[in-house]
Amino acid sequence: MRVQAIRERLEALGALPEHQRRVLRDWVQAAPHERGRRRPADYLPRPVREALPALDRELDGLARLVSSHPAEDGSARLLVALGDGQAVEAVLLPRDGVCVSSQVGCAVGCQFCMTGREGLLRQVTSGEIVAQVVLARRQRPVKKVVFMGMGEPAHNLEHVLEAIELLGVEGNIAHKNLVFSTVGDARAFERLGQGAVKPALALSLHSTDPALRARLLPRAPRLSPRELVEHGERYARLSGYPVQYQWTLLDGVNDSPAEMDGIVDLLRGRYAVLNMIPYNTVPGLDFRRPGWERARAIAAGLHARGILTKLRDSAGQDVDGGCGQLRARAGRGIALRRA
């Protein structure tokens, strides 16, 4: 269900824009309609009030928790069932963040990603994206939403932008704490700059060598790393937030001195931060995680050369850490049980 469809349904019941906003605000903030002395009878027309219980049930059905897998770092991986029995993953992050999925599967086919293996199965609707945040908020406070779960947000742009707008306007989430993460897409760069809510931007770089990047991300748009950074820089200046360049560090693949020179060449002087994330080994995929000390030395070397570099571990390392693994293990079971 689209967020816009919820608005239209409320409008058909006689809800004015302010009434629609209130109902949507309660939902996205995971707040009860009745708070203290504030009761729906005081602020909603009767047909809307009468329709609320059924609507709430429907919204609850957009994303249901199947299982939660807490990790030692304070994060928790959630396996989430959508209304039709498909499953996606969301991750509760330390420090009040949640990572949401924007597609079931993904068409980009990154060689090191489990989600990319099954291709794109379907889009996640804007309502289902927001519902993942609501699900998270029922467990913990959420002040940050990153679109780094399953899927490529630029391939589901209308729904992702609709969700971002609702989260940024009614969801009480600072715009810089909404993070649109993409492999790069010219149309997405254009649209992000036009929105009322301008999210922060994360760009999956992974290599400065165009041929290697094309091999690692086989169906990403054919933008060269330099073109990608030019787009990113323009958006960073427009939005006022630095671009977060993502670099999954793969042992023996993109950790060479030549790559580090390439990073310095591309990113020095840019309004940017480089997030270096040592690969999380996935059974069945032919990539290795570099040692932590080596990763630390690489990050320190870049920092010394003027690149603001943060070495990060992917959340939930100890519980099926790679995105797509929970679904790969359990998702088909959900679909079968529901069929």
Write the CB contacts of 129 (distance below 8 Å, at least 6 apart in sequence).
Answer: 100, 101, 102, 159, 160, 163
Nearest by Cα to 199 from 147, 134, 126, 270: 147
| Tokens standing for residue 78 | 């959630």
Using the minimum distance from each CB to ligand SF4, give the nearer residue, 109 or 225.
109
Of 53-61, 145-153, 168-176, 233-241, the window that binds ligand SF4 (rule: CB under 6 A) is: 145-153
Using the minimum distance from each CB to ligand SF4, give the nearer residue, 49 or 289.
289
Window 72-111: contact mask with ligand SF4 (x via CB under 6 A): ----------------------------------x-xxx-
For 29, other C-beta atoms within 10 Å of its C-beta total 17
Which of 89, 152, 165, 320 is the binder for ligand SF4 (CB under 6 A)?
A: 152
- Residue with the CB atom nearest ligand SF4 in the bound state: 116
Please report how close the Cβ of residue 111 comes to ligand SF4 at its closest, in angstroms. 9
Which of 20, 75, 86, 115 is the binder for ligand SF4 (CB under 6 A)?
A: 115
Please report how close the Cβ of residue 287 comes to ligand SF4 at its closest, in angstroms. 12
| Dihedral (Cα; 222, 179, 19, 32), 10-degree rounding | 140
Question: What are the catalytic residues?
Answer: 89, 323
Which of 97, 151, 184, 331 is the binder for ligand SF4 (CB under 6 A)?
A: 151
| 160 part of the interface to ligand SF4, by CB under 6 A | no
Q: Which amino acid is at 110?
A: C
| 249 part of the interface to ligand SF4, by CB under 6 A | no
Please report how close the Cβ of residue 108 comes to ligand SF4 at its closest, in angstroms. 4
Burial of 18 (0-12, 13-18, 19+ CB in 10 A): exposed
Which of 183, 272, 307, 319 is the binder for ligand SF4 (CB under 6 A)?
A: 183
The CA distance from 249 to 281, in Å, is 11
Of 19-27, 41-49, 150-158, 284-292, the window that binds ligand SF4 (rule: CB under 6 A) is: 150-158
Using the minimum distance from each CB to ligand SF4, give the nearer residue, 20 or 123.
123
| 167 part of the interface to ligand SF4, by CB under 6 A | no
Kindly list the distances between the CA atom of residue 50 and the CA atoms of 34, 38, 41, 54, 57, in Å, as whole numbers in the listed order: 14, 17, 10, 8, 13
Using the minimum distance from each CB to ligand SF4, give the nearer residue, 24 or 106.
106
Please report how close the Cβ of residue 150 comes to ligand SF4 at its closest, in angstroms. 5
Contacting positions for ligand SF4 (CB under 6 A): 106, 108-110, 113, 115-116, 150-152, 183
